[in-house]
Amino acid sequence: MTQHVDETTTYDLHPALKRQQEEMRMPSEIEAVAAEAWKATRDKADPEFAECAPNFRDKLLTQAVSVRDHGLPGGDLAVTEFDKKVSEILSKPAKAAAAKAKEK
């Protein structure tokens, strides 16, 4: 029988995980940037950021955080139009602030 660990115990053991989860749950500037980048790069048939499946939104958010923290992927990793747009928005502080203001 598998024993499950509750969320509190997991966070006690892994404080960095707790911070990551809190960042992912809270609307933030990076979420606004991800939404703006998605809006600019999505196909017309694709849903708006808020209407995307939660796991896909999380994927986009993770990509945006990665670009923010590490820059565009290098080496053999593919750089997507979404990555480029996130980088562009983040490189212009006024544009990032405007994206956040649109989210409110």
User: Does residue 9 lie within any of the structural domains?
Assistant: no
The answer to pTM > 0.85 is no
79 CB-near residues (< 8 Å, 6+ apart): 72, 73
Q: Residue 53's pLDDT is what?
A: 93
On whether residue 60 sits in a domain, the answer given is yes
* pLDDT tens track for 18-64: 666 666 555 578 899 999 999 999 999 999 999 999 999 999 999 99
Q: Please indicate, yes or no, if residue 62 is contained in any of the structural domains.
A: yes
The answer to whether residue 65 is domain-embedded is: yes
Number of domains in the chain: 1
Please check whether residue 21 lies inside any domain of the structure: no
- Whether residue 6 is contained in a domain is answered as no
Q: Is position 51 within any domain? A: yes
Looking at beta carbons, which pairs linking 63-67 to residues 24 or more positions away fall under 8 Å? 63/34, 64/30, 64/31, 64/33, 64/34, 64/37, 65/23, 65/30
User: Structural domain of residue 31, as residue ranges?
Assistant: 27-103
